[in-house]
Structure 1
Amino acid sequence: MVAAIDNPILNGPYDAPSRHFELGTTGPTGEIQDGRRPSESFIPVPSPRKGQKGQQALDLDVSGERREKNPLINDIRYEVGLWRQRGYPGVSPISRKLLQHWADPTRENRVMFCQREAAETAIFLSEVSGRHGTTDFRRQIDPQNDLHNDGLPRIALKMATGTGKTVVMSMLIAWQTINKVYSPRDARYSKRFLVVTPGITIRDRLRVILPSEETNYYRERDLVPGDLWGALREAEIIIANYHAFL
């Protein structure tokens, strides 16, 4: 493990990561490797009870956690990346217009890569996965939803604090709403949304996802082309604190 890394920043915020620091069994080695760091989990391993001999797994690191690759996440990332490089084939005209708008490198207010990738992944899984020669990831996701969330399927987009989750929420609302307005019979889309928050403060902060708000993110972050604003205004959004359902 190295004592310190002089410059820990290897990648810019607007493009896919192309390098990463190697992470050894004792921590960062300081070595730079090409490509994006694969997704993996660090799973705590409980200490053996008194009188029992703990079986030491070969993949434990210095913290005593078990490192485990996340093949589903890595496979989805890979296919979304290929799909991005090909220009987003297989999506609706509205979805493609939004995706290209968000990815435009000449924008004054560029969308960060982590935000784009989150929205791209949701769109890919909804409109593309299993078609046009792509892997049908729903065959892996749907059984887990049936097991854990029967009747309320969910997909998680994991993002770090400060990376713009509210921006992604706005992007997804725009994608769904505008598609629904232009294709009202398409069951994949909706223009009605319920956002449940864990507290009143967050509820109030999320008013930026309302197109009717003067300081909404759609305008501030230039998330919707001007000619699609009329459709976006048809979004019906309710933001409620979770206490309302107790």
Structure 2
Amino acid sequence: MGRALRRTSYDLNEAGLLPVEYADVLGIPFDFTAKPVVAPPAKPRETVRVRAVRPDRDALEIRFPRVEGYRIELPADRLTATFGSDSVLELTPDLVGPSVTTNRGILGEGVDLTLAHLKDMRSSTILFHLARHILTTQFRDPGEPPRLYLFGQVKRIARQWLDGGYLRCTGGTSPAQLIYQDIADRAAERIKAAITETLVGDRPVKAVLDRYNPTGSTRFVNFTTSKETRWRTDPGKCHLNWALCDSDWEAEFCRVVEGHPRVRAYVKNQSLGFEVPYRLGGEEAHRYLPDFIVCLDDGHPDPLNLIVEIKGFRGENAKDKANAVRASWVPGVNTLGQFGRWAFAEFTAVYEIEAGFARLVEGFVNRAAAA
């Protein structure tokens, strides 16, 4: 019995779980004619060692900062915001839950629970709640009172966001649901990102590094995996010997960057330690792991470090992550000046990756030539 409970294989499947195994126990169920069934051992999966090829590829090493947070110095005179496509928050039943729920007991008449009680809420009340939430969660230092002198400006920007059509309600949802904390957190993050982007240059964002381990590098990568979706890297383009891919789209991107003449080096962010911290609300911290780092020759003496995300379905979480990179991480690291120049790009169409990447690189080169 004890031997039957031992696993024959501890390799994880594609879902990151242990595969199902069965054991026949003689006498259960009771049968005089039962015979033991020998379970053949599972064939072990092929494993590879992913590592930095040193010293042969040390020239392709990529260094990056390990960011713990951000410091933003707000102007005291006037706040402004620049809204874009990533500023849109779409409320759907998938995001906020069903808008109509029927409760019915064994006996008696059922009751429909709806959002009808929210329809009487005035737009000025919704605006007040949203502005207060932004002020108390996004522009408040730890242990300090909220900056009440900014309330009027934050309220003005929140009104621009609401009146500009950046809140879209579908499936029976209502704008009044902004008074709920989870939804208000998402709206506040989008408005904060729009404000932060306008501060680049005058009052730049500063990244706060990990005081104990401020710098990460591809040279420290060394692990073993049985993941089947992988790409054998070009010795002249990647410091690592393998790129582990989460999809065929990422493998296609590996092919594209290895064939582009402007790419100096690239790496897949797997066990690299490269993370982008961001928050939803005042205290809820998250870590975003982008897919790739690509070093480009855009005409400047130093290379441009491009953070790349390959995304098929782009939901609300993807917008939160993109806003965190564009509005906080990239300008914060560029302000430090210790890790070169950084930028961010997303690719959402697999058949357009090659053409889109070529256009993106051409745009960087043209801007460098015009500078």
Higher relative CO (Cα under 8 Å, sequence separation at least 6) belongs to 2
User: Which is richer in helix?
Assistant: 1
Query: Which TM-score applies when normalising by structure 1?
Result: 0.35
Q: Which has the larger radius of gyration?
A: 2
Which has the larger share of strand? 2
State the TM-score, normalized to the length of structure 2.
Answer: 0.26
